[in-house]
Amino acid sequence: MRLELKGLTKKFGSFTADDDIDLVVEPGQIHAVLGENGAGKSTLMNMLYGILQPTSGEILIDGEPVDFSDPGEAIAAGIGMVHQHFKLVGPFSVADNVQLGREHTRFAGVLSAGAARRAVRDVSEQYGLHLDPDAICEDLPVGVQQRVEIVKALSGPKTELLILDEPTAVLTPAEITELLQIMRNLAEGGTSILFISHKLKEVQAVADTITVIRRGKVVAELEPTASESEMASAMVGRAVSLQVDKSAAEPGEPRLEVTDLTVVTDAGVKALDGLELTVHAGEIVGLAGVEGNGQTELARSILGLLKPDAGHIAIDGEDVHGRNPARRIKAGLGYIPEDRGRDGLVAEFSVAENLVLNQYRDAPFASSGVVNASAVDRRAVDSIAEFDIRTQSPDESASSLSGGNQQKVIIAREFSRPRRFLVAAQPTRGVDVGATQFIHSRLVAERDTGTGILLISSELDEIYALADRIAVIYNGRIVGEVDPDTPREVIGRLMVGGRLDDETDTADDEADSGPEAAAVVNDAEVETETETDVETSTETDEDANGGDR
Amino acid sequence: MSTETETPAPEQPESAETTEPRPNFMRLFGRYLIEANSVMVTIYSLVMAFFIGAVLLIVSDEGVRSTWTYFFARPQDALSASWNLVYDSYLALFQGAILNLNTLEAFRAGDVEFGNLLRPLSETLLNATPLIFTGLAVGLAFRAGLFNIGAQGQMIFGMLGALVIGFTLNLPAAIHLPLAVIAGAVAGGIFGAVPGVLKATTGAHEVISSIMLNNIAALFLVWAIGSQFLHSETKSELVTKPVNETATLPTLLSSFNPSLRVNLALLLGVAAAVFVWWLLSKSTFGFRIRAVGFNEHASATAGMRIGATYTTTMAAAGALAGLAGAALSLGVGASGITTNTALEYGFDGITVALLGRAKPGGIVAAAILFGALKAGSLSAQPAVPVDISILLQAIIVLFIAAPALVKAILHLRAPRGGLVTLEAKGW
């Protein structure tokens, strides 16, 4: 299918989300649309998929103008879409999810399970997707769930164009590699792919053509040979440096000491299993790992939201056992939560209120139980200026801000009070390039003032950019502590349970079965040892192998 | 993520707006009228409720219904009979709730004194008083994300607490009355804290536990009234001892006319509303209530103690409902309380809080409206069935709770911030 957009424009009232967009996707081509959050990418895709109708301009499929009033018409015309947030019915099987909305039936509307299964098998074999039609979707790893979405999109009556909206946002490095391969297979098979992303490396790796949009306008057409900084500059509209300037760390005394920390979830699974970690003053320790290996539990335990079942946490040399989060915060613990919307902000509160969310009872923001509104406002005005928070006023609700600016509110809140140690979990998730750069430089500046920082990130790029030391977490344990000049492959291997000195190429196999293996190990509750050897961690490796067997 | 981030960037719409010609006041006002904002939805809900009420009045009256059977022969019969019925019914409600036109005429003729004119208003405010408190009790909890169904039970305990202090002690009024009022608040507060504690410690849902506590309170009341300690020494029916003169709430207007029963509790109610407003918007406790109500996860991450907030908020809500009880048992004419004294003020408080959108000012206004409906329907009986007033309340709340319905029926425009729908968590 050849897709052509001509002068496509979408206005919301007086605001133009997409302005005169021209774009051509040739058959079998992977066409990347690159742009920051809010650049108009999703609006564009929604018009293509019939969710929104263009204000002006036209969409041509194989030279014929089309006009979709709902997604059904887009699907009928051969367009399939994989949404950023999966739209799967968790308790349903893969086959049921794929046939959802166009069920295979025998006469009188009786569902035909066999036909549905066959359809899934056919499509997944054709493109090497490896799907079990009978698996229950909610039990599957995220990467596999995404494959279900892809099969679902491909199972349309004559899908020839696939739209992938930020497909790698939720994937592990291994899963990303796999997805990119799947995309190449699809393109070879003649499917056109429109790939929406703001991640430069992936776009570079897979795209045939790159269209960069900024503020609703096409600002550049690039070849995949373009350098990352070229792409980033086009996206942001000014020169950006992807490198974070930082000097060598000068570690001081320990600010965080975690010893033998164990957290058992309600389901009886050990989320943290004798974890040991030390972060010193003036250094950034990057905690690398596939999500769901205990990072969340570690962060919540440090803050005091989670009561560990065993082990100790000392902040600034003092055991914080039994202290509630308020006391820890007051004692200088900064906390940037991984889930901004859930844990970081009260969306309905104003920017000003959010900026004092964990200090609202302290002077000067309150005295004898009464909030001092003018002090809160003054803080807001200062923070908005210092942290370049783009908001109309301090009284604007936090929900009206873009993701990057919401994150700046949290950073401003944590950086505007005395702090000794900072937990920064996914500090730039869903944040555009410009804001990422800003946040990174603030974190380094913070380190240089002597704060100890634990950086928890699922983006290896971020870890490499910031960390002075990298600790890899797997299955609730630190399985290796390495220098930031360690090659990516080594860390990638540790992240899925491999070991440091592992030279064979079994790492790839383990990458495939990593999450499952982890689950099996957890279920079995292997308790073979209490002493964690952070350098080689042979025990963990054996655990993983045990799971494989 | 894309859905939230792709919305127009904040700066652009604003700058575009300023380029628009500046609309004059009438244009703005006109636009406001056809917008589904919370004020207009409330007004339209009232109008539509009275319209539906009129239809039901017509349908339920046999005489009027019969004129409709020959509508096509003589439509004026049906129309005039219907109009008269609706007019008379609503006039009767008005006369009972606000101003009795017959009394007005008699006053003009010099037959009755001025105080008589105030009687409907006094009754309206008397009925509104407990609703202000219970409405605040539900509304305050609402702001912490809690659905306090238990105002009825909290009010019953407040009633008993005030009563016990009211008849057991012999003190000067200046001490006795405040003490009795406080006793009501404390009793209600303790009872109100129970679902809060249960939720904080065990995660039990406050709706379930407070519904059950309502039953416990209602049955406890029946038992308590019959107990030797509380039961009247002079009467045989189920009624308690009356409170001492020193503990009764002084009336406000009885100098005009002794039949004007509205008492000091009304002013306490207004003061409580002002206090709740202050608490929510100015105090650190209110900051915490609102933060927890909007997002308990972010609040916990910011170091707020969620369980403690639930418990204290429920205790405060219970205290407010307890004050409603105190207003009942210490009010004039409360010659002891019966199983009927509490009526449904606690449950009506839920409706009042919804109608007032959990804001103190709105709650006072809603309570007065409901007080008026109650006073009107009581005095309009039997000409107007009492059910009509209850029905009107129900329809009003139905529309308020479903602003999208009002918007759709009247083809209103969407307001700027989106439709305002009240919701408590867990529903």
Query: Any idea which residue has 């407040």 for tokens?
Result: B158
A487 shares a domain with A362: no
Q: Which residues of B touch A15 (CB under 8 A)?
A: 8-9, 12-13, 16
A422 shares a domain with A412: no
Q: Closest residue of A to B304, CA-based?
A: A326
Q: Residue A495's domain spans which residues?
A: 254-332+418-548
| Chains A, B: CB pairs < 8 Å | 129
Best probe of the A interface among B3, B6, B306, B416, by most A CBs < 10 A, is: B6
Nearest to A166 among B2, B11, B295 (CB): B2
Instruction: Give the rounded percent of residues in chain B with a pLDDT score beyond 70.
Output: 91
The answer to whether the Cβ–Cβ distance between B291 and A403 falls below 8 Å is no
pLDDT tens digits along A305-359:
999 999 999 999 999 998 999 999 999 999 999 888 889 999 999 999 999 999 9
Give the model's pLDDT for residue B23. 65
B340 shares a domain with B403: no
Q: Which residues of B touch A344 (CB under 8 A)?
A: 298, 301
B312 shares a domain with B217: yes
Give the model's pLDDT for residue A488. 84
- Give domain status of residue A244, yes or no: no
The answer to which of A96-100, A255-259, A503-507 has the lowest mean pLDDT is: A503-507
Q: Closest residue of B to A13, CA-based?
A: B13
B414 shares a domain with B301: no
Structure tokens of A274? 């004798």
The answer to whether the Cβ–Cβ distance between A370 and B284 falls below 8 Å is yes
| Residue B400 pLDDT level (bands cut at 50, 70, 90) | confident
Chain A CB within 8 Å of residue B420 CB:
no
Q: Closest residue of B to A197, CA-based?
A: B2
Q: How many CB atoms lie within 10 A of CB A15?
A: 17
**Using CA atoms, how far apart are residues A153 and A58, in angstroms rounded to an integer?**
23
A148 shares a domain with A46: yes
CA B173 vs. chain centroid, Å, equals: 29
Give the model's pLDDT for residue B425. 44
Q: How far apart are the first and last CA of chain B?
A: 25
**Using CA atoms, how far apart are residues A175 and A186, in angstroms rounded to an integer?**
16
**Using CA atoms, how far apart are residues B231 and A395, in angstroms rounded to an integer?**
57
The answer to whether the Cβ–Cβ distance between A324 and B303 falls below 8 Å is yes
Q: Which residues of B touch A327 (CB under 8 A)?
A: 303
Is 50 exceeded by the pLDDT of residue A103? yes
B174 shares a domain with B238: yes
- Alpha carbons within 13 A on the beta-carbon side of B94: 9
Best probe of the A interface among B11, B277, B294, B295, by most A CBs < 10 A, is: B295
**Which CATH number covers residue A35?**
3.40.50.300
What part of A 288-327 touches B (C-beta under 8 Å)?
A: 303, 305, 324-327
- Give domain status of residue B136, yes or no: yes
> How many domains is chain A built from?
3
What part of B 13-72 touches A (C-beta under 8 Å)?
A: 13-14, 16-17, 19-20
A470 shares a domain with A455: yes
- Give domain status of residue B12, yes or no: no
Give the model's pLDDT for residue A469. 95
> How many domains is chain B built from?
2
Strand-pair category, A15-25 with A3-12: antiparallel
pTM for the structure as a whole: 0.79
Is 80 exceeded by the pLDDT of residue B249? yes
Give the model's pLDDT for residue B168. 94
Q: What are phi and psi of A171, to 5 degrees?
A: -95, 155
- Give domain status of residue B50, yes or no: yes
B164 shares a domain with B57: no
| Residue A525 pLDDT level (bands cut at 50, 70, 90) | very low
Q: What are phi and psi of A457, to 5 degrees?
A: -150, 140
Between residues A541 and A39, the one the model is more confident about: A39
Q: How far is B18 from chain A (nearest CA, A)?
A: 11
Residue B378 CB partners (closer than 8 Å, separation 6+): B96, B123, B386
| Residue A90 pLDDT level (bands cut at 50, 70, 90) | confident
Is 60 exceeded by the pLDDT of residue A546? no
Q: How far is A497 from chain B (nearest CA, A)?
A: 30
A469 shares a domain with A386: no
Q: Which residues pair with A163 in a beta bridge?
A: A81, A194
Give the model's pLDDT for residue B266. 96
Is 90 exceeded by the pLDDT of residue B128? yes
B206-226 vs B173-202: helix axis angle to the nearest 10?
Answer: 140
- Most confidently modeled range among A46-55, A525-534, B36-45: A46-55
The answer to whether the Cβ–Cβ distance between A392 and B301 falls below 8 Å is no
Nearest to B284 among A84, A325, A366 (CB): A366
- Give domain status of residue B302, yes or no: yes
Cα angle: A504, vertex A509, A514; to 5 degrees: 120
CA distances from A168 to A143, A180, A191, A198, A224 (A): 9, 9, 19, 10, 18
- Most confidently modeled range among A11-25, A441-455, B387-401: A441-455
Q: How far is A110 from chain B (nearest CA, A)?
A: 35
ipTM entry: 0.84
| Residue A242 pLDDT level (bands cut at 50, 70, 90) | low
Contact B140, B167 (CB under 8 A): no
Nearest to A401 among B10, B286, B303 (CB): B10
pLDDT tens digits along A120-170:
888 888 887 888 889 898 888 778 888 898 888 888 778 899 999 888 776
Residue A83 CB partners (closer than 8 Å, separation 6+): A149, A165
B75-97 vs B119-143: helix axis angle to the nearest 10?
Answer: 80
Residue ending a domain, choose from A358, A390, A417: A417
Nearest to A344 among B4, B19, B298 (CB): B298
pLDDT tens digits along A476-511:
999 999 999 988 888 888 887 777 665 444 444 444
What part of B 358-417 touches A (C-beta under 8 Å)?
A: none
Q: Stretch B76-100: mean pLDDT, rounded?
A: 91
Q: How far is A186 from chain B (nearest CA, A)?
A: 25
Is 90 exceeded by the pLDDT of residue B392? no
B255 shares a domain with B161: yes
pLDDT tens digits along A410-458:
999 999 988 999 999 999 887 777 788 889 999 999 999 999 999 998 8
Residue ending a domain, choose from A208, A236, A264: A236
Q: Stretch B31-38: mean pLDDT, rounded?
A: 80
Q: How far is B368 from chain A (nearest CA, A)?
A: 30
Q: What is the mean pLDDT of chain A?
A: 84
The answer to whether the Cβ–Cβ distance between A84 and B302 falls below 8 Å is no
Q: Closest residue of A to B2, CA-based?
A: A42
Q: Residue B422's domain spans which residues?
A: 26-97+385-427
- Give domain status of residue B207, yes or no: yes
pLDDT tens digits along B185-243:
999 999 999 999 999 999 999 999 999 999 999 999 999 999 999 998 888 888 999 99
A405 shares a domain with A308: no
The answer to whether the Cβ–Cβ distance between A346 and B295 falls below 8 Å is yes
B213 shares a domain with B138: yes
Chain A CB within 8 Å of residue B418 CB:
no
Give the model's pLDDT for residue A516. 41
| Residue B12 pLDDT level (bands cut at 50, 70, 90) | very low
Nearest to B10 among A346, A357, A392 (CB): A392
DSSP string, B99-123: --HHHHHHHHTTSS-HHHHTHHHHH
Residue ending a domain, choose from B356, B380, B404: B380
What part of A 206-235 touches B (C-beta under 8 Å)?
A: none
- Give domain status of residue B14, yes or no: no
The answer to whether the Cβ–Cβ distance between A402 and B8 falls below 8 Å is no
A318 shares a domain with A198: no
Q: Stretch A88-99: mean pLDDT, rounded?
A: 89
Chain B CB within 8 Å of residue A375 CB:
no
Contact A362, B296 (CB under 8 A): no
What part of B 95-114 touches A (C-beta under 8 Å)?
A: none
Is 90 exceeded by the pLDDT of residue A289? no
Give the model's pLDDT for residue B159. 96
The DSSP symbol for A217 reads E
Q: Which residues of B touch A166 (CB under 8 A)?
A: 1-2
Give the model's pLDDT for residue B212. 94
Give the model's pLDDT for residue A155. 83
| Residue B333 pLDDT level (bands cut at 50, 70, 90) | low
> Hey, CA dihedral for B379, B385, B387, B392, is it positive or negative?
negative
A147 shares a domain with A81: yes
B137 shares a domain with B83: no
- Give domain status of residue B184, yes or no: yes
Cα angle: A526, vertex A528, A529; to 5 degrees: 130
Q: Stretch A48-74: mean pLDDT, rounded?
A: 89
Residue B220 CB partners (closer than 8 Å, separation 6+): B156
Cα angle: A41, vertex A46, A50; to 5 degrees: 155
Structure tokens of B321? 């409902």
Give the model's pLDDT for residue B22. 62
Q: Closest residue of B to A359, CA-based?
A: B302
B356 shares a domain with B397: no
Structure tokens of A83? 């949404």
Q: How many CB atoms lie within 10 A of CB A224?
A: 15
| Residue A83 pLDDT level (bands cut at 50, 70, 90) | confident
Give the model's pLDDT for residue B421. 63
A348 shares a domain with A285: no
Q: Stretch B18-28: mean pLDDT, rounded?
A: 65
| Residue B420 pLDDT level (bands cut at 50, 70, 90) | low
- Give domain status of residue A76, yes or no: yes
Give the model's pLDDT for residue A165. 86
Is 60 exceeded by the pLDDT of residue B101? yes
Residue ending a domain, choose from A236, A267, A283: A236
pLDDT tens digits along B341-380:
888 999 999 989 988 889 999 999 999 999 999 899 888 8
Q: Stretch B376-393: mean pLDDT, rounded?
A: 83
DSSP string, A302-333: HHTSS--SEEEEEETTEE-TT--HHHHHHTTE
Q: How far is A395 from chain B (nearest CA, A)?
A: 13
pLDDT tens digits along A204-230:
889 999 999 988 899 989 998 888 888
Is 80 exceeded by the pLDDT of residue A198? no
B392 shares a domain with B368: no
- Give domain status of residue B230, yes or no: yes
Give the model's pLDDT for residue A349. 95
